[in-house]
Amino acid sequence: MTPPDATDLGVLDQPAARRLLNLWNGQQAAYVAHRDHRFEAMLDVLRLHSPHDLTILDLACGPGAITDRVLAGFPHASAVAVDYDPILLRVARGALAGYGSRAEVHDVDLVADGWEEALAGRTVDAVLSSTALHWLSPEQLLRVYRAAARLLPAGGVLLNADHLRYDESTPSLREIARRHDAWVQQEAFAAGALSYSDWYAQAARHPELAGLAVERERRFADRPPQALAPLDFHLAALRAAGFAEVGTVWQYLDDHVVFARR
């Protein structure tokens, strides 16, 4: 039996959800050195390329970091934010509540066939994602890129920000990137940032979220970390998925914002 949409089972009040979103942003910045810069690059592409009243699809939205930035920066924009973690879905729903009907949050497993049916045929102008699609195997990633291409009209863009690890052909760059990650984390934690697991411990202090831990565990029990696909794989997969123009709009060591236009 399909479990009910976890986000329908309770509500987290908006101030608590906003606080958890802020804490999330702090902990993610410990793992992604220039996270704000990559978001700025994504938003600049939207400013320069997309309609001002655009609709975005935020893939694997977590607690809503991308959607929050887009809706705050584009007063006429709307967003459909999707994720599969019941705790993050509930935080996203609370954190984005202030945007009213401009923000929709859906319980979606990107690995499941036909996940895009959650969008009920609506058109999106841009598909955005950050620090998330590395959870997918290469085959699953290609399927998600194909689905994104089907959702976008001609001219629509996909922007995916993630660490796209260097492979064995560039061992020095790989080592520099690895040491840079370790260094950034060390500095951030010393300055008081939460770790990923600390954040979930904070979330569990809220009874509305603590009760979702078992369902979260169940959903992700069979999702081992994937071998990370390099930049070349993403670009080739996007071309194969039907995007006409692919490239990068931002890079710092192995951290990239990949761009694709229909």
Ligand X SMILES: C[S@@+](CC[C@H](N)C(=O)[O-])C[C@H]1O[C@@H](n2cnc3c(N)ncnc32)[C@H](O)[C@@H]1O
Residues near ligand X (CB under 6 A): 28, 60-62, 65-66, 83-85, 88, 108-111, 130-132, 135
Decide: 145 and 237 in contact? Cβ < 8 Å: yes
- Our CA dihedral for 190, 67, 81, 239, rounded to 10 degrees, sits at -90
Q: 126 is written with which tokens?
A: 């841009």
Q: Would you say 26 or 239 has its CB closer to ligand X? A: 26
For residue 71, the minimal CB distance to ligand X (Å) is 15
Q: Would you say 171 or 220 has its CB closer to ligand X? A: 220
Q: Are strands 78-83 and 103-107 parallel, antiparallel or unpaired?
A: parallel
Rounded to an integer, what distance in angstroms lies between the CA atom of residue 47 and that of residue 54?
Answer: 10
Q: Would you say 168 or 217 has its CB closer to ligand X? A: 217
Q: Would you say 69 or 262 has its CB closer to ligand X? A: 69
- Angle formed at CA 50 by CA 49 and CA 53, multiple of 5 degrees: 150
- For the four alpha carbons of 31, 93, 12 and 219, in that order, the dihedral sign comes to negative
Task: Name residue, tokens 């459909």.
Answer: 80
- Angle formed at CA 241 by CA 177 and CA 139, multiple of 5 degrees: 65
Which residue's CB comes closest to ligand X? 62
Q: Would you say 95 or 238 has its CB closer to ligand X? A: 95
Rounded to an integer, what distance in angstroms lies between the CA atom of residue 24 and that of residue 203?
Answer: 10
For residue 178, the minimal CB distance to ligand X (Å) is 18
Q: Would you say 54 or 60 has its CB closer to ligand X? A: 60
For residue 43, the minimal CB distance to ligand X (Å) is 14
Rounded to an integer, what distance in angstroms lies between the CA atom of residue 246 and that of residue 88?
Answer: 30
For residue 132, the minimal CB distance to ligand X (Å) is 4
How would DSSP label each residue in 208-260? HHHTTHHHHHHHHTT-PPPPPPPHHHHHHHHHHTT-SEEEEEEEETTEEEEEE
Q: Would you say 114 or 153 has its CB closer to ligand X? A: 114
For residue 129, the minimal CB distance to ligand X (Å) is 6
Give me Rg for the CA atoms of the chain.
18
For residue 142, the minimal CB distance to ligand X (Å) is 14
For residue 116, the minimal CB distance to ligand X (Å) is 12
